[in-house]
Amino acid sequence: MDSAGTVDYIPIILVFLVGVGVASAMLAMPLLLARKRASKVKLEPYECGVEPVGTARERQSVKFYLVAMVFLLFDIEAVFLIPWAVVFPNVLHDPAYSSFRYVLYGEMMLFLVVLFIGLVYVWRQGILNWTR
Amino acid sequence: MTDLFIEWIIKILVIFGILLTAVAYLSYMERKVMGWIQLRKGPNRVGPGGLLQPLADGLKFMFKEDIIPLQANRLLFALAPMLFLVPAVMTFIVIPYGSEVTLFGRTIALHVTRFDVGLLYVLALASLGVYGIALAGWSSNNKYSLIGALRSSAQMISYELALGLSIVGVLIQSGSLDLVKIVEAQGGWHGLKWNVFLVQPFGFIIFFISALAETNRVPFDLPEAEAELVAGYHTEYSSMKMGMFLMAEEFNVITSSSVAATLFFGGWMGPGVGTYPWLSIVYFLAKVFILVFVFVWIRFTLPRFRYDQLMTLGWKFLLPAAILNVIFTATVMMLFPGLR
């Protein structure tokens, strides 16, 4: 099978449909087979047997938000790293680009060093420290 | 075009069938191994040697009452297990199970499809799994579910960084995101060319630890810890929706093991695949099985991490280690370009 045809992406849709179909069948089975005897106690949110205190929609800690933000920054870094990593060995082993390889290497190392300094900064700020 | 379509459908259905059985029997294997590690036998009553235990468990899940709490967001509550399960399943179409075999006069390559960015597709689906957990915790209308879901999401995204960066190390070696090419680049030298030996031993360790955290397995399973958060994000779930969460976790284990086997252990490579292409499936399955066994082994050996220890490991150790791994690999390749 040769690669890089648009037709090769169709199995994604196929497997998605098969997956959703199987998952829906699994969700639908208890509707047919299981019994339904709702009682007030069963419908309450579970809080180890006591009456629930407060709603579940209260404010949560901001640490999760900060972690997500920092994750976003480093994920963008990974997004830049992956195409570079795919190109890098091909340029290294191609004699027509013998001087470009140093530029390729140097630029990405600079990028990584800058991001490493960013990680150290985030570390020193304490964002990574108090996530319980 | 039609026979291409038929080929895809047959491959997807065969793989699905094998996977669903494998997931069910993974839970059986886990309980048996748990038993032996704890100096007792695992399930051995249901069927010969306990082999029908997964069937009994599946039937139990289907017959239990499906309780949806009162103020829960019903649509999201039902959707969340599907959002967790379907991306885990969709990964399998790009993983190469074997080299090409000839069957009924056709040469069939043993992967459902092959595109240039196969590895990126796998990473993207791993990221989508976080949605299922976050929505499960939110829609349950239960404080403990929400906290468990937030913790689990934070854990999963933190370790996804280390996962992605450890894969970059492999990419620098292979020069392609295509999983089939990555496997083929690991052939030869009687197995010494596998990425785990020569090239990326640290890459594999970082990948494996990140995979343990991504799949919420011990020692990283605090979000589902029984004593701390009731049951974390799947507290309010019952019956088949709960079954789907558990099944999706096992699916994730198999997916992570398959990707690790493909990237680091040479996929289907092994002695004799040139002359007997069907052997390649045997080698692939053996490698995946061994990695899955290591997942299970670790589960019943190590105690659970505290949440701040978990996040410290992800951000302060694994992420710098992964970045240094990339820098080191690139430098070594730069200095010794003949070392392909």
Summarised one tens digit per residue, pLDDT across range A10-31 is 888 989 999 999 889 888 888 7
pLDDT in tens, B298-311: 988 888 888 888 88
What is the nearest CA distance from B307 to chain A, expressed in angstroms? 6
Domain definitions of chain A by residue range: 6-36+59-125
Residue A74 has pLDDT above 50, yes or no: yes
Mean pLDDT to the nearest integer, B5-27: 89
How confident is the model at residue B149, as a pLDDT? 84
- Put simply, whether A75 touches B (Cβ < 8 Å) is yes
How confident is the model at residue A28, as a pLDDT? 84
- Put simply, whether A101 touches B (Cβ < 8 Å) is yes
* Region at B213 (left for phi over 0; alpha for psi -120 to 50; beta for the rest): alpha
Residues of B in contact with A39 (CB under 8 A): none
How confident is the model at residue B223, as a pLDDT? 65
- DSSP string over B111-135: SS---TTHHHHHHHHHHHHHHHHHH
Contacts 24+ apart (CB under 8 A), B187-193: B187/B266, B187/B269, B190/B271, B191/B266, B191/B269, B191/B270, B191/B271, B193/B266
Q: Which of these ranges, A119-123, B15-19, B336-340, has the smallest mean pLDDT? A: B336-340
How confident is the model at residue B292, as a pLDDT? 93
Mean pLDDT to the nearest integer, B78-90: 89
In this complex, the residue of B90, B316, B333 whose CB is nearest that of residue A19 is B90
Confidence of residue A45 (pLDDT cuts 50, 70, 90): low
In this complex, the residue of A9, A85, A131 whose CB is nearest that of residue B115 is A9
Residue B227 has pLDDT above 60, yes or no: no
pLDDT in tens, B262-282: 988 888 888 877 778 788 888
Q: Please answer yes or no on whether A68 and B240 come within 8 Å at the CB atom.
A: no
Amino acid at B95: I
Residue A73 has pLDDT above 70, yes or no: yes
Confidence of residue A55 (pLDDT cuts 50, 70, 90): low
Mean pLDDT to the nearest integer, B129-137: 87
pLDDT top residue among B226 and B106: B106
Average pLDDT, chain B: 84
Share of chain B above pLDDT 70, in %: 93
pLDDT top residue among B192 and B19: B19
In A14-53, the residues whose Cβ lies within 8 Å of chain B are 14-16, 18-20, 22-24, 26-27, 29-31, 33-38, 42-48, 52
Task: Determine the Cα–Cα distance for residues B150 and B133; give it in Å rounded to an integer.
Answer: 8
Task: Determine the Cα–Cα distance for residues A19 and B273; give it in Å rounded to an integer.
Answer: 32
- Put simply, whether A7 touches B (Cβ < 8 Å) is yes
What is the nearest CA distance from A97 to chain B, expressed in angstroms? 13
Give the best residue of A60, A65, A86 to mutate against chain B (max B CB count within 10 A): A86
Residues of B in contact with A8 (CB under 8 A): 113-115
Confidence of residue A131 (pLDDT cuts 50, 70, 90): low
pLDDT in tens, A81-103: 999 999 988 888 878 878 888 88
In this complex, the residue of B62, B244, B340 whose CB is nearest that of residue A33 is B62
Mean pLDDT to the nearest integer, B219-246: 70
Which of A91-100, A111-120, B198-207, B268-277 is most confident? A111-120
Residue A1 has pLDDT above 50, yes or no: no
- What angle is formed at CA B174 by the lines to CA B170 and CA B176, rounded to 5 degrees? 105
Kindly report the three-state secondary structure assignment for every residue of chain A. CCCCCHHHHHHHHHHHHHHHHHHHHHHHHHHHHCCCCCCHHHHCCCCCCCCCCCCCCCCCCCHHHHHHHHHHHHHHHHHHHHHHHHHHHHHHCCHHHCCHHHHHHHHHHHHHHHHHHHHHHHHHHCCCCCCC
Share of chain B above pLDDT 90, in %: 18
How confident is the model at residue B179, as a pLDDT? 87
How confident is the model at residue B291, as a pLDDT? 93
How confident is the model at residue B102, as a pLDDT? 77
- Put simply, whether A106 touches B (Cβ < 8 Å) is no
Confidence of residue A47 (pLDDT cuts 50, 70, 90): low
How confident is the model at residue B192, as a pLDDT? 66
| ipTM of the modeled complex | 0.86
What is the nearest CA distance from A44 to chain B, expressed in angstroms? 6
Residue of A nearest to B226 (CA): A48
Task: Determine the Cα–Cα distance for residues B65 and B63; give it in Å rounded to an integer.
Answer: 7
Burial class (CB in 10 A: 0-12, 13-18, 19+), B310: buried
What is the nearest CA distance from A92 to chain B, expressed in angstroms? 7
DSSP state of B303: P
Burial class (CB in 10 A: 0-12, 13-18, 19+), B25: middle
Amino acid at A34: A
DSSP H/E element including B38: none
pLDDT in tens, B171-194: 888 888 888 888 888 776 666 667
Amino acid at A63: K
Backbone angles phi, psi at B106, to 5 degrees: -110, 150
Q: How far apart are the first and last CA of chain A?
A: 50
Backbone angles phi, psi at B256, to 5 degrees: -60, -40
